[in-house]
Every structure is written in C-alpha cells, then in structure tokens.
Amino acid sequence: MKDQGVMIQPGSRKKRQLRYLVLSLLLNAAIWGLTLFYLKQAKSTYTSEWAIILPGSAPGIDINLPNIGQASSSSSSPFGGATTDPRANYQFIATSDAVLTQAAMSIQTTEKEFGTPRVKLIDNTTIMTVQVQGDSPERSRQKSWALYQALEKRLGLLRVEEVARRDEGIEHTLQFAKNKLVTAQQQLSHYKVNSGLSFPGQVDNLSVNVEQLRRQRAEALVQAQQSTRRLQQLAANLGISSQQAAEAFLLQADQQFQQNLKSYSETTANLSILRSKWGLNHPEVVRELATQEASGMALRDRSTTLLGREVGQRALATLSLGSGDQGSGRASLFHELITIMLSNGG
C-alpha cells in the first residue's frame, strides 16, 4: 500500500499570502483612516494651568505703651491647629457655583460652556494648582484670568463678612464692658459720697489702715496659737484636761470659793494639830471636826454652783490650790495657767 497525502501547490501558497497581506493593509488603512478622520473632526483642547500659594503664618502686632497698657493683634494661620486640611475650603470655593457663574459672566459665556476647572492640592505644601480648558490658547487664558478674578472677589466678600461678624462680637463685648464700667463708676461715686472719701489720700490712708489691721490680726492669731499650745502643755503638766483647766480657772477666780477653801484648809490644819494632842472624843476635836465638815460642805456647794455639777473632794483638790500648795511648783503652774487664760479673755 502507498501513503496518500495532500500536496499544496506553490502557486496556492503565494495566493494565500497575498490575500493575508491585502487584508492586513485594508485593516491598517481603515484604522489610520478613522484616526485621521477623528483628529480632523475633533476640536482641539488647550489647558491653561496656574498655581496659587495660599497664606501661611500671618504677621502679628504687639504694642506696649508705658503707664497705659499693652495691646497685641495677630491673625491665625488657616493651617494652624486644624484637624482637617483648611486648603479644602479654598478648593471648594474655587469650584463653587458662585465663583463659576461670576467667571462665566465676566467673559460673556454660560457656566456649562465655561466648564469645571481641575483644582489639585500638592501635599506638604501650601500650593494649589488650577487647570482650565479652552478651545484655543487665548480662550483658556481668558477663562483662567476670569476664574482667578472671580475667586479673589469671592474671597474678598467672605473676608468682609467675617470681619463684620467679628467686629459685631467685639462691639458687643466692648459695649458690655462699657456698661459695667459706667455702673462701677456710679457705685464708686455713690460710695465716696456716703463714706466721705473725697480725695485719693483718704483711700490710700484707708488702704494702709486695712493693711495694718490685717497684719495685727495675723500677729494675734499667732499669739493665740502659741497661748493655746502653752495652755495644753500646762494642763498636761498639772495632770488635768483642757476642760478641767477651765474649771480650775473659774474656781480660782471666785472669791467666795477661795474664802471657803481658805477656811477649809485652816480648819484641816487646826484639826491635824488637835488630833496630835487629844483624842477623837475631846470637845475641841469634835468642835473642829464639825467646823471642817461645814466648811467642806460650803466648799462643795459653791463648786457645784460654779461648775454646774457635783465635784468630789479629790477632784476639788486637783482643781484648786490649798494653803499647802502656795509657793510650790504646782501653784506656779496654776498661776501661769490663769494668767494665760486671763490674757486670752477667759
């Protein structure tokens, strides 16, 4: 058997290649033709690009007048302390309807024909770029200039409104301060008339006197604190409380109590002498015991009247000085305690 195959003639291969070549040329011619037709029919567009450097740090004014006061004025930067980029405000204003309408009217065209400019903010700078398109270089330049003038006019109006608003607030504040000043001056004049302060020297003298009284009061407070600490120390040395110290002072200052105490002390001393000589049933000893009991009862009654409560014999001995205590250290402490309490007004 013999293999059978298809044999391609050299002429057929050339025809096929020619057909592919012609087809490629026709497609290429169609593409270029459409391209040239589009380029010929499409309108040319021209772009005018310009940039605006937005304000950064603003200048400040500081005025200092001797014997009058100090005044300062400054305009804060639009980029200082803002959580958002304030340049977006300028970007919004530049593409707002008010600015575009004003720009279109200035070159006698419609807002639709004027188009919307492309506004771009450059990062980490204060520069804002603007692109405006036109059908000719001159037209794009006119649109750019019209947009710039409209933007400047709009910013000027906004600045005037902001200044007017601030001036209104400042004027309201100044008027309020003026009213308060007038009221204060009227009150001062009324006080001068009623108090007799008619010249500045009187006010100065009054200030000096007030300062002296304030200093004397401070000194008195210090002395009172020292006296209080000394009273507490004396009361501790005598073995009595602050309340008992006050009661001891009250008993020591009462003449009747002191007379009863003196009588009781003398009777007790006489009884001690008589007991050393005679027995308990001796008439003189019995008579002296009756006298001692009467003196003690009178002493306790007087102390109850003064202190408002009953006080035992031992407590009275703690709160008072007997004849045997005179000249002793306890008597000196009591005398100092009483002297301090008298100097403090009891």
Residue 42: the pLDDT is: 60
Residue 145 pLDDT more than 90?
yes
Domain boundaries, the chain: 44-54+83-195, 218-343
CATH dotted code for 44-54+83-195: 3.30.70
Residue 206 pLDDT more than 90?
no
Residue 275: the pLDDT is: 81
CA angle at residue 291 from 285 to 297, to 5 degrees? 135
How far apart, in whole angstroms, are the C-alpha atoms of residue 290 and residue 267? 10
Residue 323 pLDDT more than 50?
no
How far apart, in whole angstroms, are the C-alpha atoms of residue 314 and residue 299? 12
Residue 289 pLDDT more than 80?
yes
Percent of the chain past pLDDT 90, that is, above it, reads 10
Q: Give the pLDDT mean for 90-110.
A: 90
The residue with greater pLDDT, 56 or 121, is 121
Q: Give the pLDDT mean for 125-142.
A: 88
List CB contacts of 261: < 8 A, sequence separation 6 or more.
299, 320, 321, 322
Phi/psi of residue 243, nearest 5 degrees: -65, -40
Q: 288 falls in which pLDDT band (50, 70, 90)?
A: confident
HEC profile of 161-178: HHHHHHHHHHHHHHHHHH
Q: 209 falls in which pLDDT band (50, 70, 90)?
A: confident
Residue 173 pLDDT more than 50?
yes
The tens digit of pLDDT for each residue in 18-69 reads: 888 888 888 888 888 777 776 666 667 788 898 888 875 555 566 666 665 6
How many C-beta atoms surround the C-beta of residue 265 within 10 A?
A: 20
Q: Which two tokens stand for residue 282?
A: 């001796």
Residue 326 pLDDT more than 50?
no
pTM above 0.75, yes or no: no
How far apart, in whole angstroms, are the C-alpha atoms of residue 122 and residue 144? 19
Residue 335: the pLDDT is: 64
Residue 149 pLDDT more than 90?
yes
Q: DSSP E strands: which ranges in the chain?
A: 46-53, 60-65, 69-74, 118-121, 127-134
How far apart, in whole angstroms, are the C-alpha atoms of residue 278 and residue 286? 10
The tens digit of pLDDT for each residue in 70-92 reads: 666 665 555 444 556 778 888 89
The residue with greater pLDDT, 12 or 169, is 169
The residue with greater pLDDT, 149 or 313, is 149
The tens digit of pLDDT for each residue in 227-279 reads: 777 767 766 776 666 667 667 767 777 888 888 888 888 888 888 888 888 87
Q: Give the pLDDT mean for 320-338.
A: 56
Most confidently predicted of 173-182, 185-194, 261-270 = 173-182
